[in-house]
Structure 1
C-alpha cells in the first residue's frame, strides 16, 4: 500500500515538473551575458521539482547562475555519496580486513550520514509543524501512514521515513540533471543534430511559448536524442549491487550463493556486437530505418537499460523520463548555446568522473541566448 500510494503521488504531479522547468528557463533568460554553470541550475531544478512532490515545497532558491551555497552543499553531499558507494573497497573483497577500514570509506560514510540526517531531520520536523494537512505530498502521506503503513498495522518510524526521502532525493536528482547535461554537451558537439532538434521543436511548439509535456509525444527526434544519451552516458554505469540468494549457473558461469553481482550497463550499451560505431553519438539509430528502431530504455530491451530491468527496476523511472525529456526539450528549444571562455565544441572536455553515477569530470559552463518571444520566459507564479 505504501509503495503504491507513493508512486501514484509522484506520477500525478506532472504540473510541478513543468512549472519548475519554466522557472529554470526564466533564470537562464535573465543570465544576460554571464557564464552559467548548467550543472548547478539543472540540479536546483530537479531538486526543487522533487522537493515539491515529496515535501510540498522548494528546497533551494531558484538561482541565476551566481551560485546557491545550500544547493552546492546538497549536490556535493550527493556526489560524495555516489563516489563512496562506487569506490573499490578492499574490505568488500577481503572480509578479514573490513574492520580496519584501510581506505577510510566507513568513516567517511558515517560522517556523510550525519550531514544527511541533519538535512532530512530539519525537513521532517519543519513539515510536522507547518503542513497542517494542507499539502498533498509524499511526506504528508508517509506521516499519515506511520501507524498503519501496510494496511495490517505495521508502523513506520521517522528513521524509515528519512531513509525513503534519502533514496528518492539521491536517486532522482543528480541522475536526471547529469543526463540532461550530457545531452546538451553532445548536442553542442554535433551542431547538425542540434539544428534538427530545434527545427522539430519549432514545428511542434512554435516560438511563442515554452515546450509542455503535451508536446513530448510528438517530438520523435528529440526522443531519439535522449535514448542515445542514455546509451552513451547511462546515469548509473554499474547497476546497484545484487546478491545471489541461491547457487545458480548462467551461460556456463557458476554463481555461488551470497555472491555480489553488478551489471555493467555502460559496457553493454557500447558493445560493438550490439551497436554499429558504438562510440558515435547517432540518434538516428533509434528512428525508423535505423539499426535499433524499436529499442526502448524502460527495461524491456537489454541492449540499453539505464533504469535497470525486472522487479528491481528504478521506481522513479516514469518521473525521471518526464523530467529529462522536458528539461532537455526546453533548453534546446528556448536557447542557443555557446561555450564559456571561447571554447570550441571540438575541445569540450567529455571526460567522466568516477563514482556510482556518471558525472561529467568538468561541469558544463555556457552562455545561453534566448530564441523565443520574450513573454515565453515569464516566471511561473508557483
Structure 2
C-alpha cells in the first residue's frame, strides 16, 4: 500500500509525541473509569484515526462502512484530539438537536469556516455566542419573516417565469435535449441574486434567459466552496499543520471564495456609498435591508465586513439543495413514468393548462411535495450536516460524549435506515402521504426521520423560502413540459459519484412543451 505524503509527515511529527504519551501513561496515576464512548475503530495515540482516514477516501463512505461493519446507529471516530460522532438514528439525532440542543449548538473553529466567514461573522459557520445570536436574529426577523417573504414574491415569480422561458427557448431552438442540472443550478442562482442584489446577471447574461460567462464562473465557485467546507482536511483536526495545505484544500477554497467576493464586493461597496450620499433612499432587496439596519443610537447595526460575510454565507447556503433534489426526483420518475404521470395529473387538476403554477398553489400539491420529500430522503445533497460542536460533557443514548465532540447527522444514514423505512432503496412518494391526513404536507421533518432543514437552534431558518424555490422549480418543469429519456438512454442512470452523493451523470432529457403556445409566448 502506498502512503500519502501527508500520512508520512504526520507519523514524523507524532512519533516523539507517542513516546511521551506512553511514558506519561505508564508513570501516572490511573484515572477513574468514565462511561464508555460510542463504538468505533481503535485510535492511534495523538493522531487518532487520521492515518486510516487519509487512505480511505472519500471520508463519508469510510464512515458509512465503519458504521455498517459495527452495526451501530452511533459511532465514535477520533481524528486528532476530536471525537467525531456520526449518527443514523432519528431518536439519537433528536437527543442531540432538540432535547440537548443548548449544549450542541456550536460550530468548529477550523480554518475553512474562519476564512469563508471572514473571522466567524456569520450564522451557519459561526460558533455559539453573541455574534451568532445577533446575525441569526437579523436573518430571521429582517430577511426571512413572513412579511419579507411576501415582499419579495414578485422577484421570485419573475425568476420562475424566466425558468420556463429559458427551457422553452432551449427546446425550440435546439435539439430538444435539456441539461436539467444546469437549468436547476442557475435557476437557484438567479433567485438568490434577485433577493440579494435585485440582479439576474452580473454581466449581460444570454439572450435565451440563461447564464452568461460571469454567472457560470460565479455558480461554479459557489459549489467549490460548498464541497470544501467541512470536507475533512487534516488541518481541521491538527490545526498546527494548516499552513502545509497537503491536498490543496485551502488553495481551492481561497480561490473560490475570492471569485465570489469579486462579484459581491463591488456591488455591496457601491450600494453602501449610495446610501451614505443619499442617492438611494428606498429598500429594494436584502442588501438594502442590511445596510439600513440601525442600532439604538441610530448608527449602522452591521459593519461592512458583517454585511459582506452574511451575503456570502447566504449565497453559498441556498442553491445546492433545490437543484440536487429536483434532478434526482425527475431521474427517478423518468424510470417510473407512472409516478411522473401522477404528478402531472395533480398539477393539471389544480392549474389546468391555461396558466403556470403560482406560489399560492403550493399548499394544494401534496403528491408533488411527497415526491420531493422522497427525493430528500433517498438522495440528500451531502451525507453529513454541518458539524454540531458539544460545549460540555454529556451522556446521550447511554454513551459518554466528551466536550468538543463534532456531531454529524448522516442524512443518507437516516433516510436509508431499514428500521425506519420499508424498502428504503426504492423511490416511493406515497409513503409520505399516509400520515398527513390530507393536511398541507411540509418538506420539513420535525421527527428527524428524514433530514431536510434540520432542527433546534442550528436548524435552517429558511424553510418557507427553501420549500418555495424547490417546489416551483420541480412543478414548473413537470407542468410546463413533457420529459422523456434520450433515445440512447432508455433508462436513466441512478448511480452516485464516488466522491459525494450527487448524481454521477447530469440529467439530460428530451423536453417538449405541453401547454398552449400562448402560455409561453406571454413570458416574452
TM-score, scaled to structure 1: 0.89
Task: Answer whether contact 1:23 1:379 (CA < 8 A) is retained.
Answer: no
* Inter-CA distance 66–88: structure 2 relative to 1 (3 Å threshold): same
Farther off after superposition, 333-342 or 216-225: 333-342
Aligned length: 375
- Whole-angstrom distance in 2 between the partners of 1:94 and 1:253: 25
Note the aligned Cα RMSD (angstroms).
2.7
Aligned to 1:377: 520
**Aligned with 1:368: secondary structure?**
strand
- Determine if contact 2:493/2:505 at 8 Å carries over to the other structure: no
Q: Is the 8 A contact 1:27 1:62 kept in 2?
A: no
In the other structure, the counterpart of 2:163 is 24
Alignment match of 2:149 (pick from 11, 20, 41): 11
Report if the CA contact (8 A) 1:75-1:174 is conserved.
no
In structure 2, C-alpha distance between the alignment counterparts of 1:79 and 1:303, rounded to whole Å? 27
Q: Secondary structure at the match of 1:366?
A: strand
Q: How big is the shift at 1:133?
A: 2.9
Moved more, 194-203 or 42-51: 42-51
In the alignment, which residue of structure 2 is the partner of 1:142?
290
Distance 2:326 2:158 in 1: 17
Distance in 2, Cα, partners of 1:353 & 1:285: 28
1:29–1:370 Cα contact (<8 Å) kept:
yes
Among 198, 206, 220, the alignment partner of 1:56 is 198
1:184 maps to 2:327: no
What displacement does 1:341 show?
A: 5.6
* Counterpart secondary structure, 1:311: coil
Map 1:268-347 → 2, pairs under 5 A? 268-288=414-434, 296-340=442-486, 342-344=488-490, 346-347=491-492
Deviations 1:41-84 (Å, cap 9, x if unpaired)?
22222222222222122235366487632222122111211221
CA displacement, residues 221-246 of structure 1 (integer Å, 9 cap, x when unaligned): 11111111111122342111111111
Partner in structure 2 of residue 2 of structure 1? 138
Structure 1 match to 2:321: 175
2: CA distance, partners of 1:336 / 1:289 = 31
1:30 Cα offset (Å): 1.8
* Distance verdict in 2 for CA 1:257–1:335, change over 3 Å: same
Classify 1:337/1:330 alpha carbon distance in 2 versus 1 (closer, same or farther; 3 Å): same
Residue aligned with 1:184, SS:
helix
* Distance change in 2, residues 1:347/1:73 (3 Å): same
Distance in 1, matches of 2:523 and 2:269, equals 28
225, 245, 262: which one aligns with 1:101: 245
**TM alignment of 1:89-238, pairs within 5 A:** 89-128=233-272, 132-145=280-293, 148-149=294-295, 155-238=301-384
- What is the aligned partner in structure 2 of residue 69 from structure 1? 213
CA 149–365 in structure 1, closer or farther in 2 if over 3 Å, else same: farther
Please report the TM-score for the alignment, with normalisation by the length of structure 2. 0.66
Q: Give the distance between the partners of 1:127 and 1:299, measured in 2 at CA.
A: 39
* CA apart distance, 1:333: 0.8
TM-aligned CA deviation for residue 100 of structure 1: 2.5
Q: Cα distance, 1:152 vs. partner?
A: 8.4
**CA apart distance, 1:189:** 1.6
- Separation (CA, whole Å) in 1 of partners of 2:266 and 2:224: 21
- In structure 1, the partner of 2:509 is 366
Residues 44, 308 of structure 1: CA spacing in aligned structure 2 closer, same or farther, 3 A cutoff?
Answer: same
Asked if the contact 2:484–2:509 (Cα under 8 Å) also holds between the matched residues in 1, the reply is: yes
Structure 2, unaligned stretches of length 5 or more? 1-136
Asked whether the 8 Å contact 2:485–2:492 carries over to 1, the reply is: no
Instruction: Point out which structure has higher relative CO (alpha carbons under 8 A, 6+ apart).
Output: 1
Question: Aligned to 2:509, what secondary structure does the other structure show?
Answer: strand
Contact 2:497–2:503 (8 Å) recurs in 1: yes
1:353 and 1:139 map into 2 onto residues whose CA distance is 38
